[in-house]
Amino acid sequence: MTFTRRTLLAAASAAAILAQPFAASAADLPKNIRMVIGSTSTGGDTYQAASIVADALSEKLGANIKVDAVGAVNGFKALERDSRGTTIMLFHDFAYLAELYGGKGFVNPFEAFTVGATIANNPGNAYLVGANSPYQTMEDILTAAENGERVRVAIQPGGVSEIGFSAMKNAAKVRAPGSEENIVPVNTGSQSDKNQAMWDGLADVINGSIQANEQFTQLDGDDQKAMRFVWITASPETLAEAPEAGMGKLTRDGMLDYASPATSVTLDGTQDFTFDKEFFLIFNKDMDPALIDTIDGALAEIYDEGEIQKKETAAFFTPNFRPSAEAREHLMEKRETYKKVIAEISG
């Protein structure tokens, strides 16, 4: 193969050095950077989000950035060991949710590390029921719980997949204290396990995503595999950024029907609970703040140019760049909200 990523990258970065005044001021940033991600899959959304931003940053900074899918535990370890800025991390809300859910070995990233810029959302987090389910809406599900019906929800415990489930329990508690006991988890693993739990009749509701499950909602009702969306956890602001055509047969307007405010899972009786799966950078605690500023500056230019947004949208991400300081504040606030939800239902 003559078209390696490196050659393409080298050509691109050479062009970038010639064309961009920015490259000169970024001289203090290491030339070889390793971007570890919190997922071990190189086919998943974290890897895609990371490679989009890594490619853009490489070009902008004239540096060589490799994305390594080492997983959460090993990613944090690698980040801990390197304060020179040669290792940076990209991850999503799991980074702090894992600690909130008491995940073994996880710490609060806002204390142990420096949280940096947000770069994109994956708006796809959703909950589904079987096509023949008696539940049409979240309202039905919460009412059923109120009436003493046990509703089993298939999730992967301890992170992004569980937070929506926690919110359901919380909403049930707000509506009718005690009814949250009727919303029970079915602890499974991957998406395939969650689907299978529904097909085996072990779960009434499953956690899924627009990307992975939309086609199942297009199937005929008599097909065992057919499903229906009941809830999309993303905020209406995030969904507004999604492509208008949506995904498959589900248009953006269609998505909004399953999301707040049309589909309401209440947070405290007045506000709706929403969850956007956000991707953001994490740095070593002792990394030189000037380097973080350099990265922020480069990202700001990249997002100003507007090319990266097209790439992100094409891969069904919604771009949401926030520089480090702003991102940190936003994410800490988010963490506080979820901390309360989790405390409510376990306390």
Partner 1 sequence: MGNLTHVTIDFDSSHLIFPALTGCILGLLGLAILIRDRRAILASGAHWRRILGETDKMRFFGTLALTVLYFSAMVPVGDIWPNTGMGFLLCSIPLVALSGLLFMRDRTLRKTVPLMIVAVAAPLLVWWLFTDLFFLTLP
Partner 2 sequence: MDILAFISPLFVLLAIGGTLVGIIFGAIPGMTATMAVAVCLPVTYSLGLENGLALLLGLYVGGISGGLVPAILLGIPGTPSSITTTLDGHPMAKSGHGEKALRIGICASLVGGLVSLLILDLFAPTLADFAIKFSYVEKFLIILFALSVMAALSSDLLLGIFSGFLGIFISLIGTYDVTKGGNGEWRLIPPGTEYWLESGFSLLPVLIGLFGLAAILDEAETGMKAGMSRKDVRIGQHEKFSLTIFKGQWVNLIRSSCIGTFVGILPGVGGSAASILSYSNAKTFSKNPEKFGKGEPAGIMASEAGNNGLTGGALVPLLSLGIPGDSTTALLIGAFTLQGVQVGPLFIGNNPVTWDAMILAMLIANIAMFVLMYYAIRYFAMVVTVPKCILFPVILMMCVIGAYTINYGIMFDVWTLLIFGVFGWLMAKIRLEVAPFIIGFILGPSAEVYFVKTLESFGDLTIFFTKSWIAVFLWVLIALSVGGSAYLQTKKAK
The residues binding partner 2 (CB under 8 A) are: 1, 3-5, 8, 34, 36, 40-45, 47-48, 51, 68-71, 73-74, 77-78, 103-105, 156-159, 186-193, 195-197, 199-200, 202, 211-216, 218-219, 224-225, 247-248, 314-316
Q: How far is the CB of 61 from partner 1 (least distance, A)?
A: 14
Candidates 64-72, 91-99, 239-247, 269-277: pick the segment binding partner 1 (CB under 8 A). Answer: 64-72
Quick check: 297 binds partner 1 (CB under 8 A)?
A: no
Quick check: 150 binds partner 1 (CB under 8 A)?
A: no
Q: How far is the CB of 303 from partner 2 (least distance, A)?
A: 20
The per-residue b/e assignment along 252-270, b for 16 or more CB within 10 angstroms, e otherwise, is bebbbebbbeebbbbbeee
Q: Where are the alpha helices (H) located in the chain, listed in sequence order?
A: 5-19, 22-25, 45-61, 72-81, 94-100, 109-112, 138-146, 160-175, 191-199, 210-213, 236-240, 252-258, 289-305, 307-314, 324-346
Which of the listed partners (partner 1, partner 2, none) does 254 bind, with a CB threshold of 5 to 8 Å by partner kind? none
Please enumerate in sequence order all residues whose Cβ is within 8 A of that of 163, keeping only pairs 6 or more positions apart, or say none. 93, 97, 233, 275, 338, 341
- Residues in the chain, overall count: 347
Tell me the two tokens of residue 184: 């029970």
Which of the listed partners (partner 1, partner 2, none) does 32 bind, with a CB threshold of 5 to 8 Å by partner kind? partner 1
Tell me the two tokens of residue 347: 């306390």
Handedness of CA 67, 208, 110, 324 (dihedral sign): positive
Q: Which of 59, 82, 278, 312 binds partner 1 (CB under 8 A)?
A: 82
Which residue, 209 or 260, is less far from partner 2 as judged by CB?
209
Which of the listed partners (partner 1, partner 2, none) does 278 bind, with a CB threshold of 5 to 8 Å by partner kind? none
Q: How far, in Å, CA of 138 to CA of 345, rounded?
A: 18
Binding site for partner 1 (CB under 8 A): 1, 4-6, 30, 32-34, 64, 66, 68, 82, 84, 86-87, 157, 187
